[in-house]
Amino acid sequence: MESKRQERIQKLLQRDIGEIFQREMGHVTQHAMVTVTKIYVTPDLSLARVYLSLFAVDDKAVLMKKIAKHTKEIRGKLGARIRHQLRVVPDLQFFEDDSLDYIDRIDDLLKDDQ
């Protein structure tokens, strides 16, 4: 069960990390559309698991590796944005959100049955 504080911080991080990817990380994403779909923050607020949905990209694994390589840069930009809301900027872990691919696969299976 997540506390209200965790939920507020998750929303704050989701908005700010999304803006960072849209406006400041073009050199990493290279015209790919990166969307922050969900963030889970640990109860002690030390770690944030960030789930990303990737569109218009040929190799998602390569892009995820590039993003992971620039984690410190993203965390630094995030710290500059949230320095007045949080004392400590949580460590970031990035994961690919494949729920849309899963939904597409289910749709394809249902269409084949008809």
Given a contact cutoff of 8 angstroms between Cβ atoms, the answer to whether 36 and 50 are in contact is yes
Residue 77: which of 12, 25, 112, 7 has the closest Cα? 25
Given a contact cutoff of 8 angstroms between Cβ atoms, the answer to whether 41 and 10 are in contact is yes
| Average per-residue pLDDT for the chain | 90
Query: Is the predicted pLDDT of residue 66 greater than 90, yes or no?
Result: yes
How many other C-beta atoms lie within 10 A of the C-beta of residue 33?
12
* Lookup: tokens for 73: 């840069």
Integer Cα distance of 12 and 84 in angstroms: 12
pLDDT tens figures, 12-61? 999 999 999 999 998 988 888 999 999 999 999 999 999 999 988 888 89
- Its pTM stands at 0.85
CATH fold label, 4-113: GMP Synthetase; Chain A, domain 3 (3.30.300)
Model confidence at 102, pLDDT cuts 50, 70, 90, reads confident
* Residue 113, pLDDT score: 66
Query: Higher model confidence: residue 78 or residue 104?
Result: 78
DSSP reduced 3-state for 2 = coil
